[in-house]
Amino acid sequence: MTKLRLIATAAMGLEALVANEVRALGFENVQVENGKVYFDGDEKALVKANLWLRTADRVKLVVGEFKAETFDELFEKTKALPWSDYIPEDGEFPVIGRSVKSKLFSVSDCQAIVKKAVVDNLKTEYNRKTWFPEDGALYRIEVAIHKDIATLTIDTSGTGLHKRGYRELHSGAPIKETMAAALIMLTNWTPDKPFADPFCGSGTLPIEAAMIGQNIAPGLNREFASEKWDWIDKKVWYEAVGEAQDVAKYDLPLDIQGSDIDHKMIELSKNNAIEAGFEGFITFKQMQVRDFTTRKDYGCLVTNPPYGERLGEREEVAQMYRDLGDAMRPYDTWSVYVITSNEKFEEYYGRSATKKRKLYNGDLKTDYYQFFGKRPPRQQQT
């Protein structure tokens, strides 16, 4: 096995959660920075991270990290890295880039220089005089420069890790699966408790709760770029997938409910739940939030309601928030978790949050309002 330095990228505000996941998987030398979590591992770790990380956006392989204040420096230091350890002669290696607070601020120039440096390196390593065909597996290189420090990585995931393989169709402004998983993991919900989402849209939050509840690896039903890399033995993938299937609790009963005012969203949610393998485990029904009722105690309501960003929607959304507050008032054992960018949410809901956490839902700055319910008597705790 090869010693690798890896990065799990994270949405702003979720770095600590991603780091906890990384540590829980047994990876070492964990280092948290803005938007990313570094860790050490080998091929098995690379595979396991892609299969199991619920809240990370991607897993990247670090090829090198160095100071680069000039284009010559960027070129020479990139060329000196061991690219042929990872990229075969037929590999496809497009280069993407970004630069923040650095002397080398032209991203297109940085991309071109890195591409040329990698080509020159591989030409030497493979004793090649002509251009590479690039018709093999994908090794997408990223040059990320922050305060003159260049980090050169290869993306191991392919499409982002939020693509779980179950949501082919979605509503107009869906929440990413990775963010949905994060919202659930930031609650006190456990699989033996009721779970509800009264603004379920295309069903992402209830489906992610079911995956967490049954301990199903989020990457089981999709493919990854690194599955096609010839230096990672296929056996590593087969074993990791087999282990994930062995620990999944496919028959564990769950009490998960999603509702929405729009009947089209309910149909969409049902189809997505079937695609994810949860037919019969999640209940979806068309319902207005003010009609929410329950006979169960110590449940958890987690939701991503409309935010009222557009001018004409503000009063309608304010009323939805009032209705949610009125509906939940009788249920003092329930904990309620709401993400929204609406700064007047607590005023409309009618209560001050026990706790608030700042998160970015995509590019939108939001607050995650947390209202803790009463705790169960000690003898009922498990």
| CA 29 to each of CA 6, 26, 59, 247: distance values in angstroms, whole numbers, following the listed order | 10, 10, 16, 26
Domains of the chain, with CATH numbers?
Answer: 4-155 (3.30.2130.30), 177-218+254-375 (3.40.50.150)
**pLDDT of 170:** 63
**pLDDT of 382:** 44
Question: Checking phi first, is residue 181 left (phi over 0); if not, alpha (psi -120 to 50) or beta?
Answer: alpha
User: Of the candidates 128, 53, 136, which has an alpha carbon nearest to the alpha carbon of residue 92?
Assistant: 136
User: Of the candidates 300, 308, 367, 365, which has an alpha carbon nearest to the alpha carbon of residue 335?
Assistant: 300
**pLDDT of 1:** 80
**pLDDT of 169:** 63
**pLDDT of 129:** 92
As a whole number of angstroms, the distance between CA 223 and CA 220 comes to 8
Question: Checking phi first, is residue 261 left (phi over 0); if not, alpha (psi -120 to 50) or beta?
Answer: alpha
**pLDDT of 312:** 75
pTM confidence score: 0.95
Q: Over its length of 382 residues, how does the chain's per-residue pLDDT go in tens digits?
A: 889 999 999 999 999 999 999 999 999 999 999 999 999 999 999 999 999 999 999 999 999 999 999 999 999 999 999 999 999 999 999 999 999 999 999 999 999 999 999 999 999 999 999 999 999 999 999 999 999 999 999 999 999 999 998 876 666 667 999 999 999 999 999 999 999 999 999 999 999 999 999 999 999 999 999 999 999 999 999 999 999 999 999 999 999 999 999 999 999 999 999 999 999 999 999 999 999 999 999 999 999 999 987 777 889 999 999 999 999 999 999 999 999 999 999 999 999 999 999 999 988 999 999 999 999 888 655 4
